[in-house]
């Protein structure tokens, strides 16, 4: 394939041994350092995500949640659910008594479920890690204590949510030095976060979920009106669980996702619907966008109504991926007009980090860590430096709804790592950031790679669209001809001023063993290997 070196597209890096791709250059460098020191995929991912919790604080943190798909070379893919649970005292009636009615606001203490990320990191490390946490956290601790330079995309996103951060005095003191978001190239530090990482490296998950750190976090959340107890946090140490992934065939491969409570099922449903159409080169740009939009609306309508903690949505995977359901949904798509907007009742959010690693032994890891909204709940415990996520905002306050808040329940999650397999073996860990967009983004990216034969970077760089909230969001790269055609079909177009999502992927070529990667130009990050 000839490459246009005059285009803005970056050439895809190719490596022979190992590779890591993240959305931040310092995270990628930290992971590569571990790989070259003899660490494996899990070691590198933990090192990278720890750095990203420091240097991209509005997107992720130790006070968030995590999901992962791990594939040993030639082995079965396993899924790790690192999402936290609601406090034992959390019920619809309790939150209504506290003055909430329709939804849980982002900044409410009730939006804070017990964070699951550290439980997941430690479970992953215990099962598959090879180097000590002290070594894996070294780069992150250095940046937390000595400072790191703010990169361009991080600076843009940071400034965009500064007014919200300013409403919490503790978050404002840390994240708005001098009363403003840091500029590109400005040094920023989080010394208390460095102390937390040292504590976790020494004590494991207990360093976060027990002792003085847990007591301080609980006391702060309760001072804000939260229902959390130290017992809730103690139980959170074991929140992460290994589960069987779910999958569907597409384009001669198997697409593997984490099961509910994540929205990976929605990604598989979109792909199942698209598989009923010829998605090859014969489609016009407008037809392709239209099909993706209509399949997305159908899948997300069912996601919002049915996906929740797995204990509250039994059988939903088999039901939604059945031929009967998929055929009925595909038959609803009219190529000449847009369907009426589907029901959307999830709060909008865009803030997550995704990374993937393939190590020298051929083990592959797809890994995602999130605090939900930008800077999560914006609630920061001043004694520990932990910024809490806002994942509980996705709970419903409707009795009987599958995703209604309840004691020790996991909320529906949007963060989803992906894995592409061929003949039973993993050939590509991949992921797409962007909150609501993630399931739709998985389908669009895979269609580009598998239906159009695009390189990973080409599929990532292609202009994006997203049917959301009664509108069809489009990036500026969508042609005017396609825009006119889409509007004629009834789509209400919304031209986006900021990029839709981001993505990373690493493809394994079985014939050569070489690794090829793509890293989204919409973010600061990159892929590196050796």
Of 411, 399, 306, which Cα lies nearest the Cα of 94?
A: 399
Residue 53, CA atoms < 13 Å, CB-side half-sphere: 36
Q: Which residues contact 75 (CB under 8 A, 6 or more apart)?
A: none
352 given a catalytic annotation: yes
Sign of the Cα pseudo-torsion (93, 96, 101, 105, in order): negative
Q: Are 465 and 473 in contact (CB under 8 A)?
A: yes
Distance CA 138, CA 263 (A): 33
Give the DSSP letter string of 371-386: EESTTTT--B-TTT-P
Whether the CB-CB separation of 153 and 524 falls below 8 Å is answered with: yes
- Secondary structure of residue 504 in the 3-state scheme: strand
**DSSP H helical segments within 168-210, as ranges?**
169-175, 191-203, 206-209
Cα–Cα nearest to 478, from 301, 275, 293:
293
Rg (CA), the chain: 22
Residue 60 near residue 82, CB atoms below 8 Å? no
Beta-carbon contacts of 161 under 8 Å, excluding residues fewer than 6 positions away, are 58, 373, 374, 375
Distance CA 101, CA 92 (A): 9
Out of 352, 378, 414, 521, which one is annotated catalytic?
352
Rounded to 5°, the CA angle 420-421-426 comes to 95
Whole-angstrom Cα distance, residue 344 to residue 350? 16
d(CA 218, CA 464): 41
By annotation, the residues acting in catalysis are 352
């Amino acid at each position: 394939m000839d490459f246009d070196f005059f285009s803005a597209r970056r050439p895809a890096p190719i490596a022979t041994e190992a590779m890591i791709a993240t959305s931040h250059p310092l995270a990628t460098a930290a992971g590569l350092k571990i790989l070259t020191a003899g660490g494996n995929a899990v070691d590198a991912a933990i090192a990278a995500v720890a750095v990203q919790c420091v240097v991209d604080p509005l997107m992720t943190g130790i006070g968030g949640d995590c999901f992962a798909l791990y594939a040993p070379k030639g082995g079965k893919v396993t899924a790790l659910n690192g999402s936290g649970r609601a406090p034992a005292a959390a019920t619809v009636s309790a939150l209504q008594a506290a003055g909430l009615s329709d939804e849980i606001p982002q900044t409410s203490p009730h939006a804070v479920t017990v964070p699951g990320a550290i439980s997941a990191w430690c479970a992953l490390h215990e099962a598959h890690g090879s180097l000590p946490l002290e070594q894996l956290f070294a780069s992150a601790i250095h940046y937390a204590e000595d400072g790191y330079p703010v990169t361009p995309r991080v600076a843009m996103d940071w400034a965009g949510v500064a007014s919200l951060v300013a409403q919490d005095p503790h978050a404002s003191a840390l994240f708005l030095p001098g009363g403003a978001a840091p500029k590109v190239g400005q040094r920023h530090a989080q010394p208390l976060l460095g102390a937390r990482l040292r504590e976790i490296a020494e004590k494991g998950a207990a360093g976060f979920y027990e002792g003085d750190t847990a007591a301080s976090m609980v006391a702060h959340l309760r001072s804000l009106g939260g229902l959390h107890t130290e017992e809730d946090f103690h139980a959170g140490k074991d929140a992460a669980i290994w589960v069987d992934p779910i999958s569907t065939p597409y384009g001669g491969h198997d697409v593997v996702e984490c099961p509910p409570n994540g929205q990976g099922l929605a990604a598989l449903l979109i792909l199942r619907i698209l598989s009923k159409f010829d998605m090859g080169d014969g489609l016009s740009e407008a037809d392709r966008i239209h099909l993706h939009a209509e399949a997305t609306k159908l899948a997300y309508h069912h996601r919002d109504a049915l996906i929740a903690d797995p204990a509250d949505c039994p059988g939903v995977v088999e039901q939604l991926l059945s031929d009967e359901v998929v055929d009925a949904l595909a038959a609803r798509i009219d190529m000449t007009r847009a369907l009426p907007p589907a029901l959307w009742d999830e709060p909008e959010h865009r803030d997550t980090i995704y990374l993937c690693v393939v190590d020298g032994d051929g083990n592959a890891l797809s890994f995602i860590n999130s605090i939900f909204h930008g800077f999560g709940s914006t609630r920061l415990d001043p004694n520990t430096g932990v910024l809490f996520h806002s994942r509980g905002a996705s709970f419903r306050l409707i009795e009987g709804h599958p995703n209604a808040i309840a004691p020790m329940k996991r909320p529906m999650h949007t963060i989803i790592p992906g894995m592409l397999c061929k003949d039973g073996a993993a050939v590509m860990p991949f992921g797409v950031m962007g909150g609501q967009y993630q399931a739709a983004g998985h389908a669009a990216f895979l269609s580009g790679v598998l239906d159009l034969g695009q390189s990973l970077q080409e599929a990532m760089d292609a202009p994006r669209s997203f049917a959301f909230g009664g509108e069809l969001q489009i990036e500026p790269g969508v042609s005017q001809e396609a825009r006119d055609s889409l509007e004629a079909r009834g789509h209400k177009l919304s031209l986006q001023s900021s990029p839709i999502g981001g993505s990373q992927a690493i493809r394994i070529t079985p014939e050569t063993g070489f690794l090829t990667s793509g890293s989204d130009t919409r973010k600061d990050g990159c892929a590196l290997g050796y």
